[in-house]
Structure 1
Amino acid sequence: MQLHILKGYIQNIYLVQDTAGLLLLDGCSRADIATVCEYIQQQLGMPLTALKLIMVTHMHPDHAGGAHKLRRLTGARIACHPKAPRWYSGLLGRTAHIIDVSLTWWVANRLGKPKRHIWYTPILKPDLLLQDEQYLPDFPDWQVLYTPGHTDHDLSLWHVPTKQLYIADLIVSVKKRLVPPYPVCHPNQYKQSLQRVNRLEPSQLYFAHLPPRDGGSINFEAILAQAPTLPKNHWHSMRNRIAHALGRQSRSH
């Protein structure tokens, strides 16, 4: 197994090369499609059809945005957790999708990246739905771990023989400190997911927005101590701002 790490629009792209072909550990952003295709053809010297499986760890723009078009270009199958296709459903879901696309542009601007076309359909149409601890089709050394909290459908991907683990957005960095991501939609589940990862004692951890790290170097207790006790997402932030504004207004009278 070879793991190729590509620099994406705002995140790392992990492309696995194995005897069965190529496996993409996350669906990237729409802006990353050319990067992936060029790497497969020019750096690896392989046809696009070598890509067999595209995992979507969760539905945010930098993890799901390129999945549909990459499937059309390569013929690969898309796999995700059963809850993922419903994440952006309904009026509130569509609103959240617009906010998340805007946040992706905001992050890109902070990274000094130009504004790119990243819009994608908010409703994923997967070929495969994978539950906790299932093994990936065609890639039996890889196992799905259900690690919710950031969303209700987050997946991590565990390479069983080497104990290497890709955890997507489960941990991020702010001012060089490892912290929980934004949003954390399900705080209790988030803490359980972190504890699960800690118990696995991974040899190596791979992140969407950080360089790889030795598993033993992560202070999970410090990150757990920073985890919110209430949901921390768009809706709760908006509600809190409204409540704060109303409270100030009532005090002024």
Structure 2
Amino acid sequence: MARIVPIALPTPYPVGDVNVYFVDDEQPMLIDAGPPTQEAYSILKEQLQALGCPLEALKEIVVTHFHPDHVGLAQILAKEAAIPVRLHPLDLYTLRLSSEKAIGFFDGWDLPPGWDPSQFDTNHWIPARYRPSGVTFLPLEAGEVIDTGSLRFEVVAVPGHSLGHVALWEEKNRWLFTGDTVIPGLAPNPMIYHVEGERVPTLPMYLNSLSQLRRLDVETLYPGHGAPFADLAAELDATVDHYRQKALEVYAIMDRQGPSGLGLRQIAACLYPRQIESQPYMVLSKTLGCLDLLERAGLAQAAGGSRGRRIYRLAAEREGEPVDALNPLLCSD
């Protein structure tokens, strides 16, 4: 009988352990692969061996998104199993983005002094020994079904936390594997991404993905971090409430400033005064997402130069309460 075996792997990142899911079926599969560290590799290899599945017996490695705690070991595992890595094309694009393009996108942004552009170099994320030559990537497509024998996993596009983030839906058992789209007790961060120099507003995209997940009749949700759980609706509500509150806080910050307006970093420093220096990319991403929501709701507007040196102000003509303008964007179906 097929089963799902969660394997928690330690990571060197603030988020803590990451979950790799072993699908023990006729065609053994991994959902996500863990971080690029020797410790994680050894634990995963030992646990798979104990489950009766040496690495070379794996038939599929499906990665929900390109962040290093999820894709880090995928290439070396695929090399040993002589199989491709399955990843959405948009995340493969971002994973292979040259460091010059990635870093150059932030030129002109009013960034904190401690900003480290090397975080955008994927060679920095995944050391060379975990990127062996000869490994291929096979694109994941929304609506595709991956058959492991007795289980069938539908690929569901849930962009936001990354541009090509996917979830896997096993309808027969009502199992949903969400990567970092839904994490118990945490509001995932829709990061700043661009395609050929054009920034993609990821928070509105992410909220739409959450609305799509509400349509699924989920019995058990398997997240990228934390224990499996049952109450998907409660987690979705908590995440939406988090971004409603943060957008209203951004609105209040701009309201206090008045017509002179503020830059992105200034707003982020007010919203996250303790994290702006230590986690600038994270807090700038969330702040920019809230500004995108406010602009779409007709509550804010940006002017000035392109990219980071834009000045944000409240819209001159606003009617009613800001929460009433935001709610249709937060609760879309």
- TM-score bucket (shorter structure): 0.7 to 0.9
2:88 corresponds to: 81
Alignment match of 1:128 (pick from 138, 143, 163):
138
The answer as to whether partners of 1:65 and 1:118 remain within 8 angstroms in 2 is no
1:93 corresponds to: 102
Displacement of 1:210: 1.3
In 2, Cα distance between equivalents of 1:144 and 1:27: 17
For residue 89 of structure 2, give the secondary structure of its aligned residue in structure 1: coil
1:180 equivalenced with 2:196 (yes/no) = no
Displacement of 1:196: 1.1
1:226–1:184 Cα change, 3 Å: farther
1:204 corresponds to: 220
1:65 equivalenced with 2:112 (yes/no) = no
Aligned Cα root-mean-square deviation (Å): 3.8
1:237 equivalenced with 2:284 (yes/no) = yes
1:97–1:63 Cα change, 3 Å: farther
1:34 equivalenced with 2:54 (yes/no) = no
The answer as to whether partners of 1:27 and 1:54 remain within 8 angstroms in 2 is yes
Unaligned runs of 5+ in 1: 106-116, 245-253
1:203–1:97 Cα change, 3 Å: farther
Displacement of 1:146: 0.6
Structure number with greater Rg is: 2
The answer as to whether partners of 1:180 and 1:226 remain within 8 angstroms in 2 is no
Alignment match of 1:169 (pick from 165, 180, 193):
180
TM-score (norm 2): 0.58
State the Cα deviation string for residues 111-156 of structure 1 (Å, max 9, x = none): xxxxxx79855xx964321211101254561111110001111011
For residue 5 of structure 1, give the secondary structure of its aligned residue in structure 2: strand
1:93–1:24 Cα change, 3 Å: farther
1:196–1:47 Cα change, 3 Å: same
2:51 corresponds to: 44
TM-score (norm 1): 0.74
1:97–1:215 Cα change, 3 Å: farther
For residue 7 of structure 2, give the secondary structure of its aligned residue in structure 1: strand
Displacement of 1:97: 8.5
The answer as to whether partners of 2:170 and 2:176 remain within 8 angstroms in 1 is yes
In 1, Cα distance between equivalents of 2:91 and 2:146: 17
For residue 83 of structure 1, give the secondary structure of its aligned residue in structure 2: helix
**Number of residue pairs the alignment of both structures matches:** 226
In 1, Cα distance between equivalents of 2:147 and 2:215: 26
The answer as to whether partners of 2:55 and 2:77 remain within 8 angstroms in 1 is no
1:156 equivalenced with 2:167 (yes/no) = yes
In 1, Cα distance between equivalents of 2:234 and 2:136: 33
The answer as to whether partners of 1:58 and 1:64 remain within 8 angstroms in 2 is yes
1:152–1:46 Cα change, 3 Å: closer
The answer as to whether partners of 1:136 and 1:143 remain within 8 angstroms in 2 is yes
In 1, Cα distance between equivalents of 2:154 and 2:236: 22
1:12 corresponds to: 19
Q: Give the letter aligned to residue 26 of structure 1.
A: D
1:213–1:236 Cα change, 3 Å: closer
In 1, Cα distance between equivalents of 2:42 and 2:103: 26
Displacement of 1:13: 1.4
In 1, Cα distance between equivalents of 2:232 and 2:86: 30
Displacement of 1:27: 2.4
Displacement of 1:235: 8.8
State the Cα deviation string for residues 52-102 of structure 1 (Å, max 9, x = none): 111111111101110110011222321111112111403243789842799
